[in-house]
Chains A and B, each alone.
Chain A
Amino acid sequence: MQVSAYLIVSALLFTIGAVGVLVRRNPLVMFMSIELMLNAVNLSFMAFAHFLNSVDGWMFVFLVLTVAAAEVVVGLAIIVSIFRSRHEIDVDDLTMLKG
């Protein structure tokens, strides 16, 4: 298999994730979209690592997974506390930082 095949799948996944972040209003779904984008990148890292026969890509994947896990923890905690104080969780209603 060509490396391009992996990269095309990766690009598709990344685009789906990006569109998801932009169009969905539920923060949980937005989070899932972000995870999708991260994993799309992971996929391309792994593809390059395999075809270039290098472990650098593996290292980056581990790093991304760790960061993603931490990010989910913090993000979910924020979402829960917002929900507790406002009893609804539509992203478009959270505009208190408007200038």
Chain B
Amino acid sequence: MVNLTPFILLLPLVGFAVLGLVGRVLPRAAISLIGCGVVLAAFVLAVIDFFSMLGVAPEARFSDVLPWTWVTSGSVTIPFGLLSDPLSAVMLLIVTGVGFLIHVYSIGYMEGDPGYWRFFSFLNLFIFAMALLVAADNFLMLLVGWGGVGLASFLLIGFWYTRPSAVAAARKAFVVNVIGDFGLLLAIFLIVKDFGTLQYIPLIVHPASAGTALPSLPLPFPDATAIALLLFVAAAAKSAQLPLHVWLPDAMEGPTPVSALIHAATMVTAGVYLVARASAIFTASPTALAIVGIIGGATAFMAATIACVQTDIKRVLAYSTMSQLGYMFMGEAAGGFSGGIFHLTTHAYFKALLFMAAGAVIHALGGEQDMRKMGGLRGRLPQTFWLFVIGGLTLAAVFPLSGFWSKDGLLSAVLEKAQTGGGTGWYVLYAVGLFTAILTGFYIFRLIFGIFFGRYRGGAIAAHGAAPAKRGGTRDPLANVHEVGAAMMVPMVVLGILSVIGGFYGTPWSDWIGQFLEPVTHTTNTGIAPGNGLFWLAFVLGLVTGPIGIAIAWARYAQREPRFGASRNPLVILLQHKYYIDELYDAVIVVPIVSLGVFWRIGLEGGFFEGGSLGLGHLVGGISRGLRRLQTGYARNYALAILVGAALLLVYYVIHP
């Protein structure tokens, strides 16, 4: 088995360095070539790694590259190590594969942007940081990648740095992410305290026990609950779970490819990865798992309800991401760690597709993101429409698209946990998951019908992009609307195909991905088996929930002219304000801190320090102004002073002999 992980990391890093240092003077074609080329090469290496891994026995699929020791502190030694195992192999495939498609899409989307080279440089940095995060072989290097992803997201969300809203969103994302970094750091301290090592092997990954149903932990976990909860704080901040989700919707301020990258291949998947990676720790603490499940279920439900009333098309997708991540955490909490990773992969396909399609619509309409000013675009953008529908159907988990299999796996894991003695709480979570599935079908098709059906509700679209303006004679406001070019269309088609077929490696009958990840996740719960009595009930429930939501959306938004106007329904107002969570944070955290800052600035800094130091200065200045009069400039005065001084000295020595 080969292990090319160091090169997978090195390639995007080189791309970042080259583009960042000399990108400004390179021609556009060279920037595109370098930016996409390094990620494509990294993807090819990841594929080679993956297939060579398939060729060996499950116990032999672990390969730790340890080039040098990084930190030695007392008895703790932390190598600069890169681990290649089934979990990191799957993650690297997604990060580099979907990441590459987003790079290609960016060639078209960012065409004409003056920061073209900067954009690709940051994208490469993002890929590097994420690859480091998933390839690290210990928690400290994970933290390095973790922080790097936060930095890259900060740079990309605030890419259009002349917009105040983008800068504010970037700052918000960074601050919330630092809370997560802090949780991860505290977890690391506790792990060192308990075990004196941070290496995954042998701490939480045990190649020797691959193939056994239960992980045979060689070490007890005295602080399992504390460590697991701190890790989950980190995961929640990165993966936008309640109550640390506030940065994700605002992150829509970045360019659309960034949204696709953050929501599909990188960033938000980090939290799901961390929980799956630390599955041994989480399994050791049922309390922590219950909390993860509750938070995941609550996030899935709340985000889906908010998505039902948003009118900004990117924000609908942002809340949809939150909701899907909630599903993943819910499933992982029920023991379906491989199910969480499976949904992560299918979600990467269809959410990247949806964001790209949304970007294509925004591109076609010259930057318009408000659904209320769209409608009737089906005829103008037929390819985008069909790709959007494929993404929407996959998100709504319609049989037999990939989203159906992965979401069904997660819900099935929750149901099995409930059935095998998890308690009634898990039945409630399962019900919440089913209801959220209806909401999912509703909000995504509300979006699709709002964009593509009915009549056009916006103003005339000016000529833009590469296509020339249609000359006079036409009164069609959409005359200048055109499909996107090949650079943007091809990645969408690829992702569309993946969305359709990507689920067949994880069906209940042949859970290939679950078996592949089993050496790492030691999954104790793979969902309801096909032989079980409840299996077909759960299967049918999974089949119908999505279409029910779609049907409701059809009735409300496609059959008659949709109304997106203001509502007096208090529930709708509550949802439009996103449960007032931002307002709550403003009132509880932001306003007091800002007030305290204003007080320090005006009261302490302005009154005490500034007044005090200025007063002292004035005092010294006044004294010296008085003393200055002694310096007359007349030489005779100085001479007299010397003489008088000498005379006084003389008198002194005469008096005191």
Which A residues lie at the B interface, using CB under 8 A?
Answer: 18, 21-23, 30, 91-92, 94-99
5 tightest CB-CB pairs across the interface, nearest first? A95-B633, A99-B631, A98-B633, A99-B628, A97-B633
A22 & B633 in contact (Cβ 8 Å cutoff): no
B643 & A91 in contact (Cβ 8 Å cutoff): no
A99 & B630 in contact (Cβ 8 Å cutoff): yes
Q: Which residue of A lies closest to B636 (CB)?
A: A22
Residues of B within 8 A of A99 (CB): 627-633
Q: Which residue of A lies closest to B643 (CB)?
A: A18
Residues of A within 8 A of B643 (CB): 18, 22
Q: How far is the CB of A74 from chain B (nearest CB, A)?
A: 15
Residues of B within 8 A of A92 (CB): 634, 636
B639 & A98 in contact (Cβ 8 Å cutoff): no
The answer, yes or no, to whether B635 is at the interface (CB within 8 Å) is yes
Contact among B628, B635, B639 for A94, CB-based, below 8 A: B635
Residues of A within 8 A of B640 (CB): 22
A98 & B635 in contact (Cβ 8 Å cutoff): no
Residues of B within 8 A of A95 (CB): 632-634
| Cβ contacts A to B, 26 pairs, < 8 Å | A18-B643, A21-B636, A21-B639, A22-B636, A22-B639, A22-B640, A22-B643, A23-B636, A30-B635, A91-B634, A91-B635, A91-B636, A92-B634, A92-B636, A94-B633, A94-B635, A95-B632, A98-B631, A98-B633, A99-B627, A99-B628, A99-B629, A99-B630, A99-B631, A99-B632, A99-B633
Q: How far is the CB of B14 from chain A (nearest CB, A)?
A: 66
Q: Which residue of B lies closest to A96 (CB)?
A: B633
Residues of B in contact with A, size category: 10 to 19
The distance in angstroms between the C-alpha atoms of A91 and B640, with both chains bound, is 14
Residues of A within 8 A of B632 (CB): 95, 98-99
Q: How far is the CB of A14 from chain B (nearest CB, A)?
A: 10
Interface residues of B in 109-162 (CB under 8 A from A): none
Q: Which residue of A lies closest to B631 (CB)?
A: A99
Interface residues of B in 204-250 (CB under 8 A from A): none
Q: How far is the CB of B78 from chain A (nearest CB, A)?
A: 66
Residues of A within 8 A of B627 (CB): 99
Q: Which residue of B lies closest to A34 (CB)?
A: B639
Residues of B within 8 A of A96 (CB): 633
- Since A92-B636, A95-B634 are in contact, a sample of 17 more A-B pairs with Cβ atoms closer than 8 Å, ordered by chain A residue number, is A18-B643, A21-B636, A22-B639, A22-B640, A23-B636, A91-B635, A94-B633, A94-B635, A95-B632, A95-B633, A96-B633, A97-B631, A98-B632, A98-B633, A99-B628, A99-B629, A99-B632
Residues of B within 8 A of A30 (CB): 635
Residues of A within 8 A of B633 (CB): 94-99
Residues of A within 8 A of B628 (CB): 99
The distance in angstroms between the C-alpha atoms of A77 and B123, with both chains bound, is 74
Q: How far is the CB of B640 from chain A (nearest CB, A)?
A: 6
Q: How far is the CB of A34 from chain B (nearest CB, A)?
A: 9
Interface residues of B in 621-657 (CB under 8 A from A): 627-636, 639-640, 643
Residues of B within 8 A of A94 (CB): 633, 635
Residues of A within 8 A of B635 (CB): 30, 91, 94
Residues of A within 8 A of B639 (CB): 21-22
The distance in angstroms between the C-alpha atoms of A97 and B640, with both chains bound, is 17
The distance in angstroms between the C-alpha atoms of A23 and B643, with both chains bound, is 13
Q: How far is the CB of B551 from chain A (nearest CB, A)?
A: 94
Residues of A within 8 A of B631 (CB): 97-99
Q: Which residue of B lies closest to A95 (CB)?
A: B633
The distance in angstroms between the C-alpha atoms of A21 and B641, with both chains bound, is 12
Q: How far is the CB of A42 from chain B (nearest CB, A)?
A: 17
Q: Which interface residue of A22, A94, A96 has the most chain B CB atoms within 10 A?
A: A22
Q: How far is the CB of B296 from chain A (nearest CB, A)?
A: 78
Q: How far is the CB of A56 from chain B (nearest CB, A)?
A: 20
The distance in angstroms between the C-alpha atoms of A21 and B637, with both chains bound, is 10
The distance in angstroms between the C-alpha atoms of A98 and B630, with both chains bound, is 9
The distance in angstroms between the C-alpha atoms of A18 and B630, with both chains bound, is 21
Q: How far is the CB of B648 from chain A (nearest CB, A)?
A: 15
Q: Which residue of A lies closest to B638 (CB)?
A: A97
Q: How far is the CB of B623 from chain A (nearest CB, A)?
A: 13
The distance in angstroms between the C-alpha atoms of A21 and B640, with both chains bound, is 9
Residues of A within 8 A of B634 (CB): 91-92, 95
Q: How far is the CB of B480 from chain A (nearest CB, A)?
A: 77
Residues of B within 8 A of A91 (CB): 634-636
Q: How far is the CB of B643 from chain A (nearest CB, A)?
A: 6
The distance in angstroms between the C-alpha atoms of A21 and B644, with both chains bound, is 13
The distance in angstroms between the C-alpha atoms of A95 and B637, with both chains bound, is 11
Q: How far is the CB of A88 from chain B (nearest CB, A)?
A: 15
| Binary contact readout B596-614 vs A (1 if CB under 8 angstroms, 0 otherwise) | 0000000000000000000
The distance in angstroms between the C-alpha atoms of A97 and B633, with both chains bound, is 5
The distance in angstroms between the C-alpha atoms of A9 and B485, with both chains bound, is 113
The distance in angstroms between the C-alpha atoms of A78 and B627, with both chains bound, is 28
The distance in angstroms between the C-alpha atoms of A78 and B472, with both chains bound, is 90
Residues of A within 8 A of B629 (CB): 99
| Binary contact readout B299-327 vs A (1 if CB under 8 angstroms, 0 otherwise) | 00000000000000000000000000000
The distance in angstroms between the C-alpha atoms of A33 and B54, with both chains bound, is 109
Q: Which residue of B lies closest to A21 (CB)?
A: B639
Q: Which residue of A lies closest to B627 (CB)?
A: A99
The distance in angstroms between the C-alpha atoms of A95 and B635, with both chains bound, is 8
Residues of A within 8 A of B636 (CB): 21-23, 91-92
Q: How far is the CB of B277 from chain A (nearest CB, A)?
A: 75
Interface residues of B in 372-403 (CB under 8 A from A): none
The distance in angstroms between the C-alpha atoms of A6 and B7, with both chains bound, is 102
Q: How far is the CB of B644 from chain A (nearest CB, A)?
A: 11
Q: Which residue of A lies closest to B625 (CB)?
A: A99
Q: How far is the CB of B167 from chain A (nearest CB, A)?
A: 52
